[in-house]
Amino acid sequence: MFYKKQGLPEESDLVICTVKKILLHSVFVSLDEYKDVEGMLHISEVAPGRIRNLRDYVIEGKRLVCKVLKVDKEKKQIDISLRRVPLSLMKKKNEEFKQEQKAEKLLEALANAHNVDIKSVYEKIGSILIENYGGLYYAFEEIVKGNTDLKDLKVDEKLRKDLVSLVKEKIKLPEFRAKIFLLLSSSASLGLKDIKDSIIKGVDFAAKNNYKIKFSYVSAPRYKLEVFSNDYKTAEKAMKEISEIVIKDLVSKGGDGESQK
């Protein structure tokens, strides 16, 4: 990537590394997100248990996600660990790095469209986005969600307009789905209508809050509620709110309702 962070990482940070040199008891890596920074991975921090040959675990040119254990700012020495990074965090960090690479490709396309180099685009808008949003991709997510058009940053107007258009065209956010089953029943003479009306109340609530949902009948008394969102927490929140509204409304009419994962 063209953009590099200045300075050194902090202890406990997760960093993207590329293996440069493998010795008998240590591995030297470059910290890909930082400018001219290297780290040392001791054999004891590669994997649990006894390691006979480091090359069974790492090879030159391989990309790793490591945790920063110690930072000597005076000597500019970084001690890192591979074995202390959980698989879930490793996947998350790798995905964030790939997203940032993808975002930088859009800046390159913007630079080509304006017949300037990538450095110039970073100076005029890229670095400002990173400073305000913590990363290019985070800024681009907010654009796609409709939360910003970057006007508040007071950057080059032509670059801003073209970048916003490019991001909206090229960036597609992943869609998460949360689902739950609602057990809805009523012994009243108009029980089926009461159930339908309660569901409609939940649908109306979803529409007012711009929640994307789908209700479907499974088999009495089971109904499936699905909520779709670019943010899993939002999907979970909407699912909980809608379920409670439907059940509360049905119970108020003398029916019964409960949710079931």
The full DSSP string for 66-83 is EEEEEEETTTTEEEEEST
Rounded-to-integer distance, Cα 78 and Cα 71, Å: 5
Domain stops at, among 39, 68, 85: 85
Q: Which residues of 72-84 are buried (b: 16+ CB within 10 A; e: fewer)?
A: eeeeeebbbbbee
Percent of the chain with pLDDT over 70: 100
Cα separations in angstroms, 146 against 26, 28, 149, 161, 170: 48, 43, 7, 14, 15
**Residue of 126 and 189 predicted with greater confidence:** 126
pLDDT at residue 1 tops 90: no
- Calculate mean pLDDT across residues 180-207: 95
Amino acid (1-letter code) at residue 19: V
* 1 found inside a domain: no
CB 225 within 8 A of CB 198: no
Rounded-to-integer distance, Cα 174 and Cα 182, Å: 26
- Calculate mean pLDDT across residues 89-106: 95
Confidence of residue 189 (pLDDT cuts 50, 70, 90): confident
Give percent helix, percent strand, percent coil of the chain, each to the nearest 5: 45, 25, 30
Rounded-to-integer distance, Cα 206 and Cα 225, Å: 11
Q: Are residues 81 and 95 in the same domain?
A: no
* 9 found inside a domain: no
Beta strands in 12-160 (DSSP E): 14-22, 26-31, 38-42, 63-72, 77-81
pLDDT at residue 231 tops 90: no
CA nearest to 32, candidates 59, 60, 11, 2? 2
Mean pLDDT score of the chain: 95
Beta strands in the chain (DSSP E): 14-22, 26-31, 38-42, 63-72, 77-81, 176-185, 212-219, 222-229, 256-260
Tens digit of each residue's pLDDT (9 = 90 or more) over 122-138: 999 999 999 999 999 99
Helix (H, G, I), strand (E, B) or coil at 240: helix
Domain that holds residue 252: 176-260
Q: Are residues 256 and 188 in the same domain?
A: yes
Tens digit of each residue's pLDDT (9 = 90 or more) over 40-69: 999 999 999 999 999 999 999 999 999 999
Q: Are residues 122 and 194 in the same domain?
A: no
Q: Are residues 187 and 164 in the same domain?
A: no
CB 211 within 8 A of CB 229: yes
Per-residue model confidence (pLDDT) at position 157:
95
Q: What is the CATH number of the domain that holds 134?
A: 1.10.150.190
Cα separations in angstroms, 234 against 173, 227, 230, 240: 14, 9, 8, 10
* 165 found inside a domain: yes
Domain stops at, among 55, 85, 115: 85
* 6 found inside a domain: no
- Calculate mean pLDDT across residues 2-22: 95
pLDDT at residue 261 tops 90: no
Q: Are residues 18 and 62 in the same domain?
A: yes
